[in-house]
Structure 1
Amino acid sequence: MRQDIAEHMDVIGADGVHVGTVDRVEEHRIKLTRRDSGEGDHKGHHHYVPIGLVAEVEGQTVRLSANADVAVSMEEEEDGSPA
């Protein structure tokens, strides 16, 4: 499944809510584009979603096994610390 994930795919939660856009896959996580980085201290840099949250890849969409609010709470910074 990891090999099916490509740049610019939409990442959505199990509830259908947009979580981000794939920048690229790095090892065990998906790097999201900067424009999906949130607000305040989180704005302007990349966040990462664990690859283990991917339920399926369909067309140009990566669907996660968790709802968007849960997935966002599991995002990581570049160094692996919580976002």
Structure 2
Amino acid sequence: MSIASQIKEHMKVIGADGAPVGKVDGIEGERIKLTKDSTSAGFDQETHHGHHHYLPIGLVADVEGDTVRLSATGANAAELFEEEA
């Protein structure tokens, strides 16, 4: 079973350091789409709130229960966010 097929809507996404990154809205291609209301370590919520962010599936280290753990810390993951196209 591929890692992408294990990721479901509303799962928590956390960094390798346990910092919250957001919640899964869905999978689009090779990216995790986070919900618009997701918060993230190290991101200015004034300018990054209210729209979707995406993370590459390649950052996923593990899927356990209702949690997606990334290989990057929460702050590093925030730096890798991709904006809506």
Judge same fold: TM > 0.5, yes or no: yes
Structure 1: segments with no counterpart, 5+ residues:
none
Following TM superposition, by how much is the alpha carbon of 1:27 offset from its aligned partner in structure 2, in angstroms? 0.4
- C-alpha RMSD of matched pairs (Å): 1.1
Normalising by structure 2, what TM-score? 0.88
- Correspondent of 1:57 among 44, 60, 63: 63
The percent identity for this pair of structures is: 57
**Residues in 2 aligned to 1:64 and 1:72: alpha-carbon distance in whole angstroms:** 11
Q: Give the letter for the 1:69 counterpart.
A: A
Which consecutive aligned stretches of 4+ in structure 1 deviate over 2 angstroms post-superposition?
A: none
Normalising by structure 1, what TM-score? 0.90
Structure 2: segments with no counterpart, 5+ residues:
none
Following TM superposition, by how much is the alpha carbon of 1:41 offset from its aligned partner in structure 2, in angstroms? 2.6
Question: How many pairs are equivalent?
Answer: 79
Partner of 1:67: 73
SS of 2:5's partner is helix
